[in-house]
Structure 1
Amino acid sequence: MAIYKIFRGPEWDAFAAAGHSQGAPIDLRDGYVHLSTAAQVEETAARHFAGEDGLMLLAVDETRLVPELRWEPSRGGALFPHLYRELRAEDVLWSAPLPLDGGQHRFPPV
């Protein structure tokens, strides 16, 4: 199963250059990389990245993250995937721009 990470432009650039990332500032603060399921990622974008352009959506192979992946309660008690190690380039299945279209992010099929 694929799970998803949204990076801002500079975060994506750093990840692409280094081949790994501890995540965004919120990830560093919380001590894990925040990820979302296909059912959660659009709400994540609307809630935490509203109106931001230049985003990159990464599809991550969940099976490569075990055992450092934990499913923990977050928004409204829903279980969200949290990665307790750096995200690595080899974890990523694909990446795609997440452009704004009429003020909303336009998602590729997930």
Structure 2
Amino acid sequence: MIYKIFRTPEWESLTADETTLGAPVDLADGFIHFSTAAQAPETAAKHFAGVEGLWLIACEEAALGSSLKWEPSRGGADFPHLYAPLRLDQVAWAQPLPLIDGTHRFPAGLA
């Protein structure tokens, strides 16, 4: 399983349109940024510090097919990048990512 963090409007757009090219950073970079379970909390802290109204989106790697590439990024670690639109039917689950006392609370087993 890999993970994407969306702001509420981005998640609502995906649910309405059933496809997305991602958030503004994804559009600028030309691919959709994902994180592993181990990387997701650091991604939230680095790129979404203090931001409320986030959603954690989970996708099975296999559901994304050959458009999913693992590439070096932060600190040289390999991150999953999707070089295709993300379809709603590729999302295994989504849930709010609450901000509690300044820290995003991830589901058990992810943080």
Q: Give the TM-score band, short-chain normalised.
A: over 0.9
Query: Where does residue 76 of structure 1 map in the other structure?
Result: 75
Query: Where does residue 92 of structure 1 map in the other structure?
Result: 91
| Deviation (angstroms), 1:66 | 1.7
| Aligned: 1:28 with 2:22 | no
The amino acid across from 1:60 in the alignment is: C
Structure 1: where are the runs of 5+ without partners? none
Distance 2:84 2:17 in 1: 15
| Deviation (angstroms), 1:90 | 1.1
Query: Where does residue 103 of structure 1 map in the other structure?
Result: 102
How large is the Cα RMSD of the aligned pairs?
A: 0.7
After superposition, give the CA deviation of every residue in 1:44-67 in whole Å (9 maximum; x if it has no partner): 000000000000000111101120
> Runs in 1 of length 4+ with deviation above 3 angstroms?
none
TM-score (norm. length: structure 2): 0.96
Distance 2:46 2:74 in 1: 11
Distance 1:64 1:15 in 2: 17
Structure 2: where are the runs of 5+ without partners? none
| Deviation (angstroms), 1:88 | 0.7
TM-score (norm. length: structure 1): 0.97
After superposition, give the CA deviation of every residue in 1:23-56 in whole Å (9 maximum; x if it has no partner): 0000000000000000100000000000000000
Identical-pair percentage: 59
Q: How many residues are treated as equivalent by the alignment?
A: 109
